[in-house]
A and B are shown apart, each in its own frame.
Chain A
Amino acid sequence: MVELQGIPVSPGVAIGPALVLDAAGYRIPRTLLAADEVDAEFARLREAVDKVSTGLEANRLETSAVAGEHTGDIFAAQLQMLHDPRLQAELRRRIREERQSAAYAVSRVLHNYAAAIRRVDSPLLADRADDVLDIEKQLLMCLGAVSAGPLSDLSEPVIVLSHVLTPSETANLDRNYVRAFCTETGGPGGHTAIVAKGLELPAVVGIGSFLDQVGDHCNVIVDGDRGRVIINPDAETIAYYRKKLKDRRSLTARLSELRDLPAETIDGTPLRLSANIEFPHETSTCIERGADGIGLYRTEFLYLASHEEPSEEDHYQAYSRVIREMEGRPVVIRTLDLGADKMGHRPMAEHEHNPFLGLRSIRLSLRNLDLFRPQLRAILRAAIHGDVRVMFPLITTLAEYRQARMLLNVVAEDLVDAGIPHRSNIPVGMMVEVPAAVMMLERFAPEVDFLSIGTNDLAQYTLAVDRSNENVADLYQSSDPAVLRLIARCVEVAEQFDKPLSICGEMSSNPARALLLLGMGVRHLSVPPSSLLRVKKAIRSVSIDQCIEIANRVMQLEAARDVDLYLLDRLGEYVPELIVT
């Protein structure tokens, strides 16, 4: 039994057999060789190279005979790649000096080449990366390292263990079979974490190097509540977690009774409790759990989950579906938030040294109007189906907000001119995620219809912590007193200008932190569908005076850790059912 500690990013518990992946979805565990195995392993590689080489040569002759020499040259080029002196030298170095297994070395080196080729600006040339991956696959098959297809053909429940999972890979996990996942890299606020929460998959990230300790089919427990991963658990541990799974199911059953009750405190202070979604199909869960609306619809997943760049029609169809299914409840659409850790299909801004401080989100949208315009048109067109509101992410300056709003007006005029049905009198708001916007909020407030605080980015930019970097992940806490002071200031300005304010960051999904936010004067929370009932349970268990007392006490504290410990204590006192042991 091996116990590992990582960062819990999506709650829940799962028990099942391991499926170990490398970055591409092949099953290549990182195995290291003993000194006396190096020669034999290198010989195995030579043999595999010869075999693949013979195969390619046969393909070349055959194809040339059937389709002409020009077509056969494709295989000549692949042969050239296979025998590339740089490639061979690097493989030799990794096996002989770093003692990596041949399969692991092949997969790493060819992947690096493929990634470098994929990054070039010419689409035609970038596609040559496929040739490189093809060689990788053939070598891995000769080395006996690739059994079947990757994640696409699962037939039994598994727990996915990987060095890294990107947001789109996470989004494409087969939920029928994948029970949980854990990764060596990653941090609590990354988008992979958000997707995992959206899919309600227990997940632990940022574990550090551990894949070499795991083989396929090992039994694994993932504890997404406490960030624990247990490899080959003993009978006692399994029994403990089986009981935990059972308790969790019965809590879920009890919470589901709350769905039709209003989100209000004991003394009757009314609140709005909305849901954050990324995929249209999540709306049904939101309705099932009694959400008051969609407080944050993240639209970039339209880009990440498909291989085609979405058209205006794709946007329109997705939005219309969500809006219709919400039957008149408000739907707040956030415009594209691409860049940094969420890339679309085109190279947006290559080689940024500091992507989170770079061309991302609204900045990227305003620079790529061919990308932004179709989305804005689709939003205005879909607005005829219900209560739609739009907000712009990562607004830093007044000029940015005004530019975005003006563009929305221009797009509306275009639709009028073209006689296309739409509705343009929709509320327009901004996300408050950058400290600069908080400092200038008095100037923004008169120009916006509503404000929404994105605590993930606000914490990242306030604390100068890259939320996806596991080395500094412990510094990233949205309950940090500095972040709380910025939120308090937003509440104050919103009240002064009488503008609705909501919090849609991950912060409000934590029931204890939600109580704190209520005490600070926030009256609208938007949380992942998986958290709706837990947060509602917390809200319905306290009075607003108790929340204010919590907030007053918290504002005296000096560190995020103290804040969270105090909050956990209060939650234990007011809502003991929600404390998972």
Chain B
Amino acid sequence: MSKAHSRTVVVRNPQGLHARPADMLVRMANQYTSSILISRGGEAVDCKSILSLLTLGAACGTELSLRVEGDDAEAAIDSIEQLFLRGFDEMGDEDVADNNSDRNEPGDSSESAESVGQTDSTPSA
């Protein structure tokens, strides 16, 4: 019997878990046969479904929990954790070297404070 592995990871790349990192994450997950769930708060989604990953809305700094179950669970959880630690290769070299994940580009914070999401007044039926 395989045992379930759990681990907490943090989104470190400034732009958060957007389409490209989510794509990398799914590709990585698909290399393993284990079932991989990733959750934010109480909401757990399938790590092999990019659409589900995007509904998590995991911005930079978000803590996510991984739960992996299957024959190759240990290898899977290690390589996925690595992806998060590397910031999905979207961080400047010094960010990785300093291991300073809290640092934001000066422009980032003001931009996200001012821009607002577009309306989605269309309820899903």
Binding site for B on A (CB under 8 A): 23-24, 70, 73-74, 76-78, 80-81, 84-87, 108, 111-129, 131-132, 163-164, 166-169, 304, 307, 309, 343-347
**Residues in chain A near residue B59, CB distance under 8 A:** 121-122, 124-125
Tell me if B58 is interfacial: C-beta within 8 Å of chain A.
Answer: yes
Assess whether A85 is in contact with B117, with CB atoms less than 8 Å apart: no
Q: In the bound complex, do residue A86 and residue B51 qualify as a contact, i.e. CB atoms below 8 Å apart?
A: yes
Residues of A with C-beta under 8 A to B18: 124-125, 128
Which of B26, B27, B48, B49 has the most chain A CB atoms closer than 10 A to its own CB? B49
Minimal beta-carbon separation of B116 from chain A (angstroms):
5
B124 touching A115, Cβ below 8 Å:
yes
Contact of B118 among A78, A167, A169, A345 (CB under 8 A): A345
B23 & A73 in contact (Cβ 8 Å cutoff): yes
Decide if A85 touches B49 in the complex (CB within 8 Å): yes
Whether B100 sits at the interface, judged by CB under 8 Å, is: no
Q: Quick one: CB contact mask for B50-93 with A, threshold 8 Å, 1 for yes?
A: 11101111110000000000000000000000000000000000
Question: Can you name 26 A-B pairs with beta carbons within 8 Å?
Answer: A73-B20, A76-B20, A76-B23, A78-B19, A80-B23, A81-B50, A85-B48, A87-B51, A114-B120, A115-B123, A116-B124, A117-B55, A121-B57, A125-B59, A126-B57, A127-B118, A131-B19, A132-B51, A164-B122, A166-B123, A168-B119, A169-B121, A345-B117, A345-B118, A345-B119, A347-B117
Taking a contact as CB atoms under 8 Å apart, the answer to whether A123 and B112 are in contact is yes
Q: Which residues of B contact A116 (CB under 8 A)?
A: 55, 124
Contacts of B120 in A (CB 8 A): 114-115, 118-119, 129
Interchain residue pairs A-B with the least CB separation, the first 3: A120-B57, A77-B19, A115-B124
Docked CA distance A538–B116 (Å) = 47
Q: How far is the CB of A408 from the nearest CB of chain B, in Å?
A: 25
A308 to chain B, nearest CB (A): 9
- Is there an interface contact between A115 and B112, defined as CB atoms closer than 8 Å? no
Residues of B within 8 A of A (CB): 15-20, 22-23, 26-27, 46, 48-52, 54-59, 112, 115-125
- Please state if B116 and A128 are interface contacts (CB–CB under 8 Å): no
Chain B nearest CB from A152 CB (Å) reads 15
Could you tell me the distance between the alpha carbons of A37 and B5 in the complex, rounded to whole angstroms?
A: 45
**Docked-complex contact B20 and A74, CB < 8 angstroms:** yes
Label chain A's interface by main secondary structure: helix
Q: How far is the CA of A168 from the CA of B118 in the complex (A)?
A: 13
Question: In the complex the two chains form, what is the Cα distance from A80 to B50 in whole Å?
Answer: 7
**Chain A residue nearest in CB terms to B89:** A70
Given contacts A73-B23, A80-B26, A346-B116, contact A128 B54 (CB under 8 A): yes
Cα of A459 to Cα of B23 in the assembled complex, Å? 50
Query: Are B115 and A123 in contact, with the CB atoms below 8 A?
Result: yes
Most chain B C-beta atoms within 10 Å of own C-beta, residue among A111, A122, A131, A163: A122
Chain B residues whose C-beta falls within 8 Å of the C-beta of A309 in the assembled complex: 116
How many Å lie between the Cα of A124 and that of B120 in the bound state? 14
Interface contact B119-A113, CB-CB below 8 Å:
no
B119 near A77: Cβ-Cβ < 8 Å: no
Q: Which of B15, B119, B122 contacts A124 (CB 8 A)?
A: B15
Q: How distant is the Cα of A128 from the Cα of B115 in the complex, in angstroms? A: 15
- Complex Cα–Cα for A127 and B18 (A): 9
CA distance A77 to B51 in the complex (A): 10
Instruction: Contact check, B57 vs A81: say whether CB atoms are below 8 A apart.
Output: no
B57 touching A122 by the CB < 8 A rule?
yes
Docked CA distance A341–B58 (Å): 27
B20 touches A77 (CB 8 A): yes
CB pair B52 A86 closer than 8 Å: yes
Write the nearest CB–CB distance from A60 to chain B, whole angstroms.
11
Contact B51 A84 (CB under 8 A): yes
Which chain B positions have C-beta within 8 A of A112?
A: 124
Looking at the complex, which one of B26, B49, B123, B125 makes contact with A87 (CB distance below 8 Å)?
B49
When C-beta atoms are compared, the residue in chain B nearest to A184 turns out to be B125
CB closest residue in chain A, given B60: A122
Contact A307 B124 (CB under 8 A): no
Listed residue (B50, B58, B120) with the most chain A CB atoms within 10 angstroms of its CB = B50
B112-A304 in contact (CB<8A):
no
Inter-subunit contact B117/A123 (CB<8 Å): yes
Cα A126 to Cα B112 with chains together (Å): 12
B121 touches A125 (CB 8 A): no
A124 nearest CB across to chain B (Å): 6
B17 nearest CB neighbor, chain A only: A125
- Measured in the bound complex, the distance between the Cα atoms of B17 and A120 in whole Å is 12
Q: Is the CB of B122 within 8 A of A117?
A: no
Specify which of B49, B56, B58, B119 is in contact with A86 (CB 8 Å cutoff). Answer: B49
Distance to closest chain A CB from B63 (angstroms): 14
| Residue in B16, B23, B112 with the greatest tally of chain A CB atoms within 10 Å | B23
Q: How far is the CB of B124 from chain A (nearest CB, A)?
A: 4
Contact A84-B50, Cβ < 8 Å, known A117-B57, A307-B119: yes
Q: A108-B125, A127-B117 are in contact. Are A77 and B112 (CB under 8 A)?
A: no
- Chain B residue nearest to A88 (CB atoms) is B49
Contact partners of A118 in chain B: CB under 8 A: 117-118, 120
User: A129 to chain B: which residues have CB within 8 Å?
Assistant: 120
Shortest Cβ distance from residue B108 to the other chain A in the assembled complex, whole angstroms: 10
How far is B122's CA from A164's CA once the two chains are assembled, in angstroms? Answer: 8
Bound Cα distance from A107 to B109, whole angstroms: 35
| Chain B residues, Cβ within 8 Å of A124 | 15-16, 18, 59, 112, 115
Q: How far is the CA of A74 from the CA of B20 in the complex (A)?
A: 7
Chain A's nearest CB lies how many Å from the CB of B113?
A: 10
Known: A113-B51, A124-B18, A124-B112. A304 touches B124 (CB 8 A): no
Of all chain B residues, the one with the shortest Cβ separation from A70 is: B20
CA distance A164 to B59 in the complex (A): 32
Q: Which residues of B contact A117 (CB under 8 A)?
A: 51, 54-55, 57
Least CB distance, A485 to chain B, in whole angstroms: 35
Query: What separation, in Å, do the CA atoms of A163 and B115 have in the docked complex?
Result: 31
Other A-B pairs, 6, CB within 8 Å; known A117-B51, A125-B16, A163-B125: A23-B124, A111-B124, A111-B125, A116-B124, A166-B122, A345-B116
Contacts of B15 in A (CB 8 A): 124
